[in-house]
């Protein structure tokens, strides 16, 4: 019992890192508190935690998430182009390679356990909510700079880590016999948590050289819209929207 309590304290500490009001992410999250709450506590998320989400809804979500990853890769390719330094170009290229050649393969293997093949997922049409979010991220990256792009990506990259930890520490979460346990543990796990923490730090690094008068207001607008579109993605999965 003592080790479980220690693990929970560590998880709570990790969550505090994401809540740090002194980071750019913390300021954006605070400015969009209503949207963030609706996103991170969405009915889709809660039903994953208590194992009441229908398998049809989860499969639909997985199919669309596969298509999402394709455009997510394009966003990181854009991050390479938008980067100002060789180090940032290499970092973005490394992430792009990881998504295309590692994460996509893991996703395909995970989906196979749900009876979904890569060929079937490739033939699926993108749901409108999927198109709305992915194209918005690309538009912000094209119209703005690399900071705009990463702020648009933040609700996904950082948000899934926050959601994973929330579910892992929530006493209402049912892990025993939960068909979505692997999903919860993947996003609550150390590897993805470290990715999200790095994203929080990188936002601050980008902001250090790009923040000026009035810039925060623009970034809040981008973060709010991206978070709202993530809410729409959950709606799509829950209601099996196309």
- Domains defined for the chain, CATH in brackets: 21-239 (1.20.910.10)
Q: What is the pLDDT of residue 140?
A: 96
Q: What is the pLDDT of residue 7?
A: 46
Tell whether the model's pLDDT for residue 10 goes beyond 80.
no
Catalytic status, residue 111: no
| pTM (two decimals) | 0.89
170 is written with which tokens? 């929530």
- Mean pLDDT of the 79-107 span: 92
pLDDT digits (tens, 9 = 90+) for 176-199: 999 999 999 999 999 999 999 999
Q: What is the pLDDT of residue 139?
A: 97
Q: In 116-189, which ranges are E strands?
A: none
Catalytic residue (one of 32, 111, 156, 217): 156
Report residue 29's pLDDT band, with 50, 70 and 90 as the boundaries.
very high
Burial class (CB in 10 A: 0-12, 13-18, 19+), 188: buried
Catalytic residue (one of 32, 35, 63, 230): 230
Please tell me whether residue 60 adopts helix, strand or coil conformation.
helix
169 is written with which tokens? 């520490």
Contact criterion met (CB below 8 Å) for 203 and 20: no
pLDDT digits (tens, 9 = 90+) for 95-134: 899 899 888 999 999 999 999 999 999 999 999 999 999 9
Tell whether the model's pLDDT for residue 42 goes beyond 80.
yes
Report residue 19's pLDDT band, with 50, 70 and 90 as the boundaries.
confident
Report residue 145's pLDDT band, with 50, 70 and 90 as the boundaries.
very high
């Amino acid at each position: 019992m003592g080790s479980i309590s220690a693990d929970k304290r560590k998880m709570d500490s990790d969550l505090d890192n994401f809540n740090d009001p002194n980071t750019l992410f913390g300021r954006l999250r605070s400015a969009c508190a209503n949207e963030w709450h609706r996103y991170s506590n969405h009915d889709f998320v809660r039903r994953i935690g208590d194992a009441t989400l229908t398998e049809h809804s989860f499969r639909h979500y997985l199919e669309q998430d596969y298509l999402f990853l394709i455009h997510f890769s394009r966003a990181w390719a854009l991050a390479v182009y938008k980067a100002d330094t060789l180090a940032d170009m290499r970092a973005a290229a490394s992430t792009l390679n990881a998504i295309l050649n590692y994460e996509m393969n893991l996703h395909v293997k995970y989906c196979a356990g749900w009876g979904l093949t890569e060929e079937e997922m490739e033939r699926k049409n993108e749901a409108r909510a999927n198109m709305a979010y992915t194209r918005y991220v690309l538009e912000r990256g094209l119209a703005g700079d690399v900071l705009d792009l990463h702020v648009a990506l933040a609700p996904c990259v950082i948000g899934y880590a926050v959601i994973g930890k929330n579910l892992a520490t929530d006493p209402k979460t049912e892990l025993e016999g939960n068909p979505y346990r692997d999903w919860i543990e993947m996003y609550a796990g150390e590897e993805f948590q470290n990715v999200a923490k790095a994203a929080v730090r990188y936002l601050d690094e980008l902001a250090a050289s790009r923040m000026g008068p009035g810039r925060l207001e623009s970034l809040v607008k981008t973060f709010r819209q991206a978070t709202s579109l993530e809410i729409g993605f959950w709606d799509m999965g829950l209601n099996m929207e196309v």
